[in-house]
Structure 1
Amino acid sequence: MPNTMSGIVLTEHGDTDKLHYRDNLSVPTLTNHDVLIRVSAAGVNNTDINTRLAWYSKKEADSSDASWSGHALSFPLIQGADVCGTIVAVGGKVNPNRIGERVLIEPCLQEIDSEKLNPAGYFGSECNGGFAEYTKVADRHAYAIKSHLSDIELASFPCSYSTAENMLSRANVNERDRILISGASGGVGSAAIQLAKARGAYVVAITSADKRQALLDIGADQALTREDDIVAALGESSIDVVIDLVAGQQWPVFLEVLKPFGRYAVSGAIGGAFVELDVRTLYLKDLSLFGCTVLAPDVFGNLIRYLEQGKIKPLVAHTYPLKEIVQAQEAFQKKNHLGKIVLTVTQS
């Protein structure tokens, strides 16, 4: 094994000028329960960008709570939550037969450096992630995958699809449900369409007009544009479950279209973090609201099973070499793509 590697480090919160490519980073040192992974591909997602920008902070001009877990980040930091790669070394208490396995990393972490976490952490936030040639993670969070899909395709799944599956699980989506998905053309939204259809649900997606047909093509039963009058199109009290990744000004409409005893699950706020809630709607309709962050224990295993059974398909919009992470994140933020943007990692 080499002693040094190439990768991208974030030196502090800020714009993309805080991301730096270096070729003299130390290869991670393993603790007893870790595995070392040679990274093949790593996806770009909102979590990495929000972490870089200190978007998670609730304090004015203070980044002491700006990480995924609500604590200050430790810089320099290697980000990257979506990783596909191969195990090349293991810690002292890990079965050496794992060496050579192709794996996906579960990004929501219950263990770092052989220490249990409470609260949970996130890969590339509470510890170094996958924007480098090598990365390490607890053995329990490295899931072997047997699939005909390429490493690039597999790297499009971990963060977005596990987030989507977690939301569907928390909201107990089933074949009798009619569900509404906001932000449906993004990584999590498009994942939620496929995963909800795998459960047999009827899916209504909200997207831009130019992506409407693409969402119908991947399984949505109905697609509305952001400019549509959602209540007029669907009717009041017509939806069993809302899967929300947007929030923002239209948020009250989501509760209006929910049926009595409807379920609302949220895991994003790209349209704005502050919303207007009429509490009367909440209690008079007996609604249940679910904030979804930490993955339930069976979620990532379910995702691996769906992949191996071919029940879900990759949606890779573009690829960039790791050195071009700035261009990749800029393209990601323009939101002109459908699915995922993936960085390829060239081994030295």
Structure 2
Amino acid sequence: MCERMTAAVLYRHGGPEALELRTDWPLPSVGPGQVLVRVGATAVNNTDVWTREGAYGLHGRPEAKAGWRGAVNFPRIQGGDIAGVITATAADVPDSWVGRRVLVDPAFYADAREDAVPVGLLGSEADGGFASYVAVDAAHVHDMSASPLSDQELAALPVAYGTAMGMLERSRIRSGETVLVTGASGGVGLALVQLAAARGARVVALTSQSKAAALQEAGAEVCVFRKTDPVALRRRLEAVAPEGLDAVADVAGGPWLEQFLPSLRDGARWVIAGAVAGPVVTFDLRRLYLHNLSLIGSSMHTRAHFASLADLARAGTVRPRIAGSYRLTDIHAAQEEFRRGTHVGKIIIVP
């Protein structure tokens, strides 16, 4: 095997120029308990762009350049979504794994429990999948030999669908409930629509009018539109859910919290995993406690959440929508399309 590979390497926080394509990057070594995966496909996520830009801020310093866990150790190969084939194993890992097609859980966890919280991510705290090969812990690979999904479809799952699974599980969204999904046409939003509909929830998607058909195809029963007058929008929600929404799965943040809080029934849940519409919000705390509402923060997934997602992938229960596919050598063009936000589904990168 050649000891060099192609990789997109992030050298610092900044614009697209901070991400450099290298064709001579050292092949990763396999440490104890690890396997070497030849990357078949990966995908673009908000976290890739925000980490490059240093857009996460620090506690008390929201303007500071930082990754989601603080300082990033440069140089770094990004890419938390990884589907591929195992080509080598460490001495303490059975070599029967060699040749298997796998999906990689990208999270690092606080401890060994199945419900441990994530404290790191491939592509942020360790090198990820924007490369020909990646070394990962064997405990994080899930055998996809029996999955009907392609490598590109599998690569759409880990970050976006893992985050969506975490949101649905932490907010206990069940069959028969009415849930509003904000930012519904993005990677996590579309995953929420598909996964919530798959468990029997009634999905209301907040989106733009041009993307409504794609979201209804994905499982949304009703679409409401962002540019609608706020009063008319609230009346539309009242008509859709006369007793109030059971839950909101929010990946946008910003003004939607204050605007839609009155649309929740007593005892409802609001789970949030993003802030693309604004990270700093105001709302009336009295509406929260007087109506016994739950505001839940959700970052990524647990081991148990990801195992459930892997089961769905093996069964082909959920098929991600692929919005576009690029070669690794065209990663800047892939991220440019991603930032335009005109797509519905995942943008895939194939090494």
State the TM bucket, normalised to the shorter chain. Answer: over 0.9
1:140 and 2:153 matched? no
Cα distance in 2 for partners of 1:50, 1:42 equals 17
TM-superposed deviation, 1:251: 2.0
Tell me the amino acid that sits aligned with residue 177 of structure 2: D
Cα distance in 1 for partners of 2:321, 2:275 equals 22
Structure 1 counterpart of 2:24: 24
Q: Which runs of 5+ in 1 are unaligned?
A: none
Equivalent residues in 2 for 1:268-283, closer than 5 Å = 268-283=274-289
Structure 2 counterpart of 1:36: 36
Structure 1 counterpart of 2:235: 232
Structure 2 counterpart of 1:218: 218
Residues 284-327 of structure 1, C-alpha deviations (whole Å, 9 max, x = no match): 11111111114223111111111222211120000011011111
Q: Percent identity?
A: 39
Q: Which runs of 5+ in 2 are unaligned?
A: none
Structure 2 counterpart of 1:76: 75
Structure 1 counterpart of 2:335: 329
Greater CA drift, 123-132 or 154-163: 154-163
Greater CA drift, 234-243 or 75-84: 234-243
Equivalent residues in 2 for 1:297-308, closer than 5 Å = 297-308=303-314
Cα distance in 1 for partners of 2:123, 2:307 equals 21
Residues 205-254 of structure 1, C-alpha deviations (whole Å, 9 max, x = no match): 00011001111111100001102333111127610010000011232123
Structural RMSD (CA) = 1.7
Residues 12-41 of structure 1, C-alpha deviations (whole Å, 9 max, x = no match): 001001111111111111211111100111
Cα distance in 1 for partners of 2:122, 2:243 equals 39
3-state SS, counterpart of residue 84 of structure 2 = strand
Tell me the amino acid that sits aligned with residue 289 of structure 2: Y
Structure 2 counterpart of 1:209: 209
Structure 2 counterpart of 1:89: 88
Cα distance in 2 for partners of 1:49, 1:237 equals 39
Q: Contact 2:118 / 2:301 at 8 angstroms: preserved in 1?
A: no
Cα distance in 2 for partners of 1:22, 1:238 equals 53
3-state SS, counterpart of residue 82 of structure 1 = coil
TM-superposed deviation, 1:276: 0.9
Q: How many residues align?
A: 338
3-state SS, counterpart of residue 71 of structure 2 = coil
3-state SS, counterpart of residue 298 of structure 1 = helix
Q: Contact 1:68 / 1:126 at 8 angstroms: preserved in 2?
A: no
Structure 2 counterpart of 1:267: 273
3-state SS, counterpart of residue 76 of structure 2 = coil
Q: Contact 1:207 / 1:224 at 8 angstroms: preserved in 2?
A: yes
Equivalent residues in 2 for 1:286-297, closer than 5 Å = 286-297=292-303
TM-superposed deviation, 1:144: 1.1
Residues 40-84 of structure 1, C-alpha deviations (whole Å, 9 max, x = no match): 111001011111111111326643xx1222x21111110001111
TM-superposed deviation, 1:156: 1.2
Cα distance in 1 for partners of 2:201, 2:141 equals 30
Structure 2 counterpart of 1:5: 5
User: 1:187/1:162 Cα in 2 relative to 1: closer, same or farther (>3 Å)?
Assistant: same
Cα distance in 2 for partners of 1:60, 1:309 equals 42
